[in-house]
Structure 1
Amino acid sequence: MADYNNNKSSSIMESKPLHPLHQIAESPTHKLLLKQWLKEEELILNRISLKETQIDSTRQQITQLYCLFFIFHSTALLLLFSAASHANGPHFCRKSWVPSLCSLLFSMGFIWAIRYKTDVECHVEKMLEREKEDSKLLAKCVEELKKKGIEFDLLKEVDALRRAKSLRVESKPVRKWSTRDFVTLFFFTVSCLVLGLNRVILCS
């Protein structure tokens, strides 16, 4: 009777399926794949953190350029007004092209720098979006592997992951005008107004 009970309990233990994680631990292929995916997931998270830091730094630089643009033109206009109020009007009017040219060159330099930094910000944001999508796809695959164990079809699931990455398309509609274009147009308009103010100050 005791032997029968022992045999029955041992057969029940043998028939009970192993936990998926135990199955993965006993399968070298699945174990290696899980390790690789976990390592890749960690690398992606590090890249996401790095890109977020880069975006914050770029935005701070853009804000500094905005401030410098207005500080430069405000200071230049105040100096011109002060100089024009204590000097001969016609002489200053004839030479008004000099400060106007300097103002134009500095304005174009600032506008180019702002445009360049906003392009960098946009590029890094797109890369960050892709990294986040990759992280979601990989996390889903890791979860499926842990859930299914050795029932996880390596060829099918890995191929599906690669296909999802390669066929990924942007769902955002293409816009003719972006925020960067309006920012560039705004600063160009301000630069033109400053040129007009230079002429008014020196020739009035």
Structure 2
Amino acid sequence: MAEVKDAQHHVVEIMVDGDHRISTIAAIQDHPLMEISESPGHLLLLKLWQREEDLFGRRIARKETRIDALTREIFQLCLFFFTFHGFFFTILFTSSHNSNSCRKWWIPILVSLSTCCMMILLVQMKLCRYWKVYGQLQMERTDSRALTRCIQELRMKGVSFDLSKEPGNGKRMKSSSVEIKWKPVTWCHQYLITIWLVSVMGLAVPVCRFMLCA
């Protein structure tokens, strides 16, 4: 502890000659950011783009939160769909021992179809909303990336940056290597959950008839 108390802090001064100091000041003055600060037009454009970049970030965060919420809602609906069928088939199995159950087989099937159609409709609505928000999110991300590139270019070029340039120029151009997707395939990929639920609903009808009349 005594050695620590006796330790002394040494300040090292680096002597810089006049020519080097002048060259350093000149380099700072010639920096693009210094040029932008002295140009009202470029400075205003930089502030506007930075504000717009912040707005893009907030909108992207809100859409990502919305997509997460829709994903949870779709999962809960699918879970309720299969839970309902589990209880429904259990009730049918217990009532299949009744000799009169086969005469009114269409009643439980009608109840099952009505409930399934309602849940499938809700899932489809959530999926449509999900893909709509997802498309908007991709557009927001594309615009945000284009704006970020323009801000970086402005900071690098300084006053030589063209003020008439817009972040959106050229971002909608399609590359020659873009894959052409067939719309029915894309639709089936997006709404695969709906197709799966409809298939389960179609299989539930013969299963119900078999359990009641076997």
TM-score, shorter chain, exceeding 0.5:
yes
Q: Secondary structure at the match of 2:81?
A: helix
For residue 28 of structure 1, report the CA deviation from its aligned partner: 1.0
- Contact kept in structure 2, 1:84 and 1:202, CA below 8 Å: yes
- Contact kept in structure 1, 2:28 and 2:34, CA below 8 Å: no
For residue 14 of structure 1, report the CA deviation from its aligned partner: 7.4
For residue 198 of structure 1, report the CA deviation from its aligned partner: 1.2
Q: Which residue of 1 aligns with 2:65?
A: 53
For residue 163 of structure 1, report the CA deviation from its aligned partner: 2.8
For residue 79 of structure 1, report the CA deviation from its aligned partner: 0.9
Q: Does 1:195 align with 2:205?
A: yes
Structure ranking higher in helix proportion:
1
Q: Secondary structure at the match of 1:163?
A: coil
1:39-76 residue CA offsets vs partner (Å, 9 max, x unmatched): 00011011111111111111111111111110001101
CA distance change for structure 1 residues 72 and 119 in 2, over 3 Å: closer, same or farther? same
**Aligned residue among 122, 127, 139 for 2:136:** 127
CA distance change for structure 1 residues 154 and 96 in 2, over 3 Å: closer, same or farther? same
Q: Does 1:19 align with 2:37?
A: no
Q: Does 1:136 align with 2:142?
A: no
Q: Secondary structure at the match of 1:93?
A: coil
CA distance change for structure 1 residues 43 and 57 in 2, over 3 Å: closer, same or farther? same
* Segment of structure 1 superposing worse, 113-122 or 174-183: 174-183
Q: Which residue of 2 aligns with 1:173?
A: 180
In structure 2, what residue type is equivalent to 1:83?
S
Q: In the aligned structure 1, how far is the partner of 2:70 from the partner of 2:58?
A: 18
* Segment of structure 1 superposing worse, 33-42 or 20-29: 20-29
Q: Does 1:107 align with 2:116?
A: yes
Q: Which residue of 2 aligns with 1:67?
A: 79
Q: In the aligned structure 2, how far is the partner of 1:13 from the partner of 1:182?
A: 64
For residue 132 of structure 1, report the CA deviation from its aligned partner: 0.9
Q: In the aligned structure 2, how far is the partner of 1:181 from the partner of 1:148?
A: 47
Identity %: 33
Q: Secondary structure at the match of 2:114?
A: helix
CA distance change for structure 1 residues 66 and 15 in 2, over 3 Å: closer, same or farther? closer
Gaps of 5+ in 2: 1-17
Q: Which residue of 1 aligns with 2:52?
A: 40
CA distance change for structure 1 residues 134 and 15 in 2, over 3 Å: closer, same or farther? closer
| Number of equivalent positions | 190
Higher relative CO (Cα under 8 Å, sequence separation at least 6) belongs to 1
- Contact kept in structure 2, 1:21 and 1:149, CA below 8 Å: yes
Normalised by the length of structure 2, the TM-score is 0.80
Q: In the aligned structure 2, how far is the partner of 1:37 from the partner of 1:203?
A: 71
Gaps of 5+ in 1: 1-5
In structure 2, what residue type is equivalent to 1:70?
F
Q: In the aligned structure 2, how far is the partner of 1:16 from the partner of 1:187?
A: 65
